[in-house]
Chain A
């Protein structure tokens, strides 16, 4: 694998993560627990889709086949998608939405803070913009986690269930494959090993404040870095890509 090929794959992965999570959050429009929260979730979704645009545009540029970010978003089959499995998990109840957001945004905050130092100027610039956005996402998710965990008996139960349900998708966030290793050696990608320890620590502190417990089960799902997904992704793409697939000659 050349460095260029690795960067392509790397940008694609990051773009897929924000695309799929941004898409999931966009499903919540008009479904928030209160109008104000509807607006908040939409803002997060918009940040993510904006980030997707930058990342997939860069991936398309590196690939050099004259594709656009939309070609990449709307014309790839699911096994060419590399988003983490956690991003494609259903919104579920608000506890699941918030827990998924907490796990991912704490990770992304640590991750993009590292990526700011990337020798790749484009990735570094995207990371700098992203860190600011994610700081807010993380704050939002943390506050809700604490409110709901330490709220009523029902909300506590729902939060603990969400934490337990989503836990097995968190291991994958820290997997390093040859793309990561190659780019790390060249000072382009972030090292996920120290991020893992930091993430576990940060999550633990938040969960304790929320009176929630860290699951003991250490079994972790894996697959997305090879393009193997849960059944959810196929449905997301069937919906998302519908117009582009049904009318391949049309411009929108």
Chain B
């Protein structure tokens, strides 16, 4: 009989397309990779609430206010699902948040850019959620069960995010000169960072090969980026937005667009902490986490006092 606790058996299950569940045997590196990826993903959802949150109180109509609020709430929910998925691997949310605050766990670079005008809300929904969806749709088939199930739920909820963003952009491009200028300005600032969301080129990506072998990642960075580029450029053209890249060309033979060179120096600089908002985003998260401490403590104290009354289960 083969050893069910061997890496070979694990890889055989992966190759057969089976899902791995929390109690199943998994190589330590698989677990580590997942914790890193899922927590980074969760952190991104939660930190991502901030740039859009910057415009909730200034949303220009009651409809826009509701949409934006519901959208940001969804992102909070996504963070919640993902933290819970990570917890199945044996880390607690307390640790996950500590890792974020201590800089041991990352979040997506894109949220270190500021949301400066109302069209940024359009650009974030259309480009940032648009890029995220390409990645997330692919992750629905990821090999770890709890992660995959969270992604299925997330993708269902994401379906309105990109549309609401594109709607804002389309509306503004049909609006006054000022509105068109805002929309183009937002496009200029978000286009390249959105492309960077897929990560470095496959040839430079340190984690890709294991992740692909284990089917955590189902498609490579460059494959996913290309999908995003191909679907987004025609959408920009349709509403009259200029893509801020003079080198874009449609390859008639392959049907794919080729683009200019991504500024990887900027990418690594922002990852290293020198983006416009790195410090601000982290300080915000830490501040409200700390301000909530007395509330959490009080809830626990209250429960302990009333254990008997509620026939408490916890």
- Direct contact, A vs B (beta carbon within 8 Å): yes
Complex Cα spacing A144 to B80, Å: 21
A-B contacts, 12 of them at CB < 8 A, read: A23-B57, A29-B49, A34-B292, A39-B77, A42-B70, A42-B72, A46-B73, A52-B62, A94-B291, A154-B297, A250-B175, A250-B176
**How many of chain A's residues have a CB under 8 angstroms from any CB in B?**
49
Interface residues of B in 179-219 (CB under 8 A from A): 179
Task: Produce 1/0 per residue, A122-149, CB < 8 A to B.
Answer: 0000000000000000000000001110
Q: Are A70 and B61 in contact (CB under 8 A)?
A: yes
Could you list which residues of chain B lie within 8 angstroms of chain A, going by C-beta atoms? 46, 49-50, 53, 56-58, 60-66, 69-70, 72-73, 76-77, 79-80, 83, 118, 171, 175-176, 178-179, 284, 288, 291-299, 301-303, 305
Alpha-carbon distance A152/B295, docked complex (angstroms): 9
Contact A26 B57 (CB under 8 A): yes
Main secondary structure of the interface of B (DSSP, over half): helix
**A240 interface hit (Cβ, 8 Å):** yes
* B-chain residues with CB within 8 Å of residue A32 when the two chains form the complex: 288, 292
Question: Which residues in A have some Cβ–Cβ distance to B below 8 Å?
Answer: 19, 23, 26-27, 29-39, 42-43, 45-46, 49-50, 52-53, 56, 69-70, 73-74, 93-94, 146-148, 150-152, 154-155, 158, 239-240, 242-244, 247, 249-252
Docked-complex contact B58 and A243, CB < 8 angstroms: yes
- Describe A's contact surface by its main secondary structure: helix
Question: Distance (Å) between the CB of A129 and the closest chain B CB?
Answer: 15
- A74-B66 Cα distance, complex, nearest whole Å: 15
Residue B62 contacts which of A70, A152, A155, A250 (CB distance < 8 angstroms)? A70
Shortest CB distance B162–A (Å): 19
Which partner residue on chain B sits nearest A240 by CB separation?
A: B57
| B-side contacts of A45, CB under 8 Å | 69
Shortest C-beta distance, A249 to chain B (Å), equals 6
Known contacts A46-B69, A243-B60, A30 near B294 by CB under 8 Å? no
Question: Does B83 lie within 8 Å of A154, measured CB to CB?
Answer: no
B79-A35 in contact (CB<8A): yes
Give the Cβ gap from B174 to chain A, nearest Cβ, in Å: 9
A250-B57 contact, Cβ under 8 Å, with A42-B76, A49-B62, A52-B62? no
Q: Is the CB of A150 within 8 A of B171?
A: no
Q: Which residues of B contact A23 (CB under 8 A)?
A: 57
Contacts of B83 in A (CB 8 A): 35
